[in-house]
């Protein structure tokens, strides 16, 4: 069983990933921590509460960061054009959802849960990495107690999606991401190199709706805005299931090709938020900011059809189906 804390900014593709984690039989969802990103943290938290209630998810929700770890950074670009003004495809989520939050801030929830389960917790971060960086700042020893960190973010051998250089989760808090990648714990990075190859078409989702329950129908309803965005603005028939792809890595790492090497994030300038790896194999560099940094794992390729099938199977045939 994989014990998981899901750090998220729901978000349409975050919503699919949440349902995947909830339903996958080998995943024990210990908690959900929210962060600003696709919309502000009040809305991402409200969206997590909404999805928990609709989908019968009992894992606690702890509200997280509202801004970048370096408070002098200006707010990043709004992602509402991608996910809708409410973050969930403008389906009409109620303004408030009556579901109590964990009283702790997200970073403290992470620290306490990791310390209560030493060596067992995987942190799956699919938004800005601010909460994780705050947890490390408050309690650096947790680095040695976490099993693995799986991140959706970055663009290594491909162009970005916020600027040509940078992917959204990194661009939204580059300093936080650089802290996560240079900490001596195991990080696996599932970035645009593989998530932009993992496209779920509207037809594929329709088939899932036909064989799934009303949770899958809600997921399909809230995904339509996102699918329209991909069609009109990216020229793709279907949606990139970024955050679910990172979750599939947990249970099917065999579907991914990985490359080891230190990873740094460009902080500032025209390439703000760019992720660059110094691969362990091949050309060697000396006297660079990658020197002495821990080797982390970057996904460079994926068997995307099988990733989509793993998502379908968990959502449609997994646990916790409702009538
Ligand atoms: C990432 O950015 C967000 O918009 C998505 O939820 C995903 O986590 C993709 O770049
Ligand atoms: Ca996300």
The closest-lying atom of ligand 1 relative to the alpha carbon of residue 12 is: 6
Separation of alpha carbons 29 and 26, rounded Å: 10
- Cα–chain-centroid distance for residue 79? 15
Q: What is the pLDDT of residues 199-218, one digit of tens each?
A: 999 999 999 999 999 999 99
Name the domain count of the chain. Answer: 1
Structure tokens at 237: 């028939």
Distance 323 CA to ligand 1 centre (A): 30
pLDDT in tens, 2-13: 999 999 999 999
pLDDT at 323 over 70: no
- Residue 28: inside a domain: yes
pLDDT tops 90 at residue 82: no
Please indicate whether residue 83 is annotated as part of the active site: no
Q: How far apart are CA 255 and CA 246, in angstroms?
A: 11
Which pLDDT score is estimated for 319?
Answer: 80
Q: Whose CA is nearest to atom 4 of ligand 1?
A: 38
151-160: pLDDT as tens digits? 999 999 999 9
Residue 323 domain-assigned (yes or no)? no
What confidence category does residue 274 fall into, taking pLDDT thresholds of 50, 70 and 90?
very high
- Against a cut of 0.85, is the pTM above it? yes
For residues 111 and 155, the answer to whether their CB atoms sit within 8 Å is no
Answer yes or no: 9 catalytic: yes
CB 204 within 8 A of CB 238: yes
- In which residue are the tokens 């990080």 written? 187
Q: Which of 12, 77, 131, 153 to probe ligand 1 with, by most ligand atoms within 8 A of CB?
A: 153
Q: Inform me whether the pLDDT recorded for 162 exceeds 60.
A: yes
Contacts (Cβ under 8 Å, ≥6 apart) of 233: 81
Pocket of ligand 1 (CB under 6 A): 11, 13-14, 38, 79, 82, 126-127, 152, 161, 167-169, 242-243
Residue 322 resides in a domain: no
SS3 208: helix
* b/e per residue 243-267 (b: at least 16 CB within 10 A): bbbbbbbbbbeebbeebebbbbbbb
Model confidence at 276: pLDDT above 80:
yes
Q: Would you say residue 316 has pLDDT above 90?
A: yes
Q: Which atom of ligand 1 is nearest to the CA of 192?
A: 10
| Residue 128 placed within a domain | yes
Confidence label for 75 from pLDDT (cuts 50, 70 and 90)? low
In a domain? residue 104? yes
Alpha-helix runs per DSSP H in 56-200: 80-83, 106-116, 130-138, 168-171, 174-181, 192-195
Nearest alpha carbon, ligand 1 atom 10: 168
Range of 260's domain?
A: 2-317
Nearest to 297 by CA among 242, 246, 241: 246
Which residue among the candidates 7, 9, 13, 178 is catalytic per the annotation? 9
CATH number at residue 267: 3.90.245.10
DSSP letter (8 states) at residue 258 = E
Å from CA of 226 to ligand 2 middle: 13
Flag the least confident range among 82-86, 289-293, 309-313. 82-86
Q: Do 6 and 246 touch, CB atoms closer than 8 A?
A: no
């Amino acid at each position: 069983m994989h014990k998981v804390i899901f750090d998220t900014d729901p978000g349409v593709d975050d919503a699919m990933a949440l349902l995947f984690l909830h339903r996958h039989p080998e995943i024990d969802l210990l908690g959900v921590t929210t962060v600003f990103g696709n919309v502000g943290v009040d809305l991402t938290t409200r969206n997590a509460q909404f999805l928990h209630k609709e989908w019968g998810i009992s894992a606690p929700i702890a509200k997280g960061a509202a801004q970048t770890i370096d408070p002098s950074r200006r707010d990043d670009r709004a992602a509402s054009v991608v996910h809708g003004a409410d973050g969930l495809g403008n389906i009409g989520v109620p303004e408030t959802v009556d579901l109590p939050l964990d009283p702790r801030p997200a970073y403290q929830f992470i620290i306490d849960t990791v310390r209560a389960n030493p060596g067992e917790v995987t942190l799956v971060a699919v938004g800005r990495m601010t909460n994780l960086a705050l947890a490390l700042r408050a309690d650096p020893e947790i680095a040695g107690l976490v099993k693995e960190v799986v991140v959706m973010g970055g663009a290594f051998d491909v162009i970005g999606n916020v600027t040509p250089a940078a992917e959204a989760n990194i661009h939204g808090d580059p300093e936080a991401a650089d802290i996560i990648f240079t900490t001596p714990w195991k990080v696996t990075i599932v970035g645009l190199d593989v998530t932009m190859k993992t496209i779920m078409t509207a037809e594929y989702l329709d088939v899932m709706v036909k064989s799934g329950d009303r949770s899958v129908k809600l997921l399909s309803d809230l995904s339509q805005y996102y699918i329209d965005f991909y069609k009109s603005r990216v020229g793709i028939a279907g949606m990139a299931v970024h955050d679910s792809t990172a979750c599939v890595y947990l249970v099917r790492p065999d579907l991914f090709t990985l490359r080891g090497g230190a990873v740094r994030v460009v902080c500032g300038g025209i390439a703000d938020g760019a992720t660059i790896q110094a691969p362990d194999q091949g050309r060697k560099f000396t006297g660079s900011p990658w020197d002495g940094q821990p080797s982390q794992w970057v996904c460079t390729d994926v068997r995307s059809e099988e990733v989509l099938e793993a998502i379908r199977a968990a959502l449609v045939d997994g646990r916790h189906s409702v009538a």
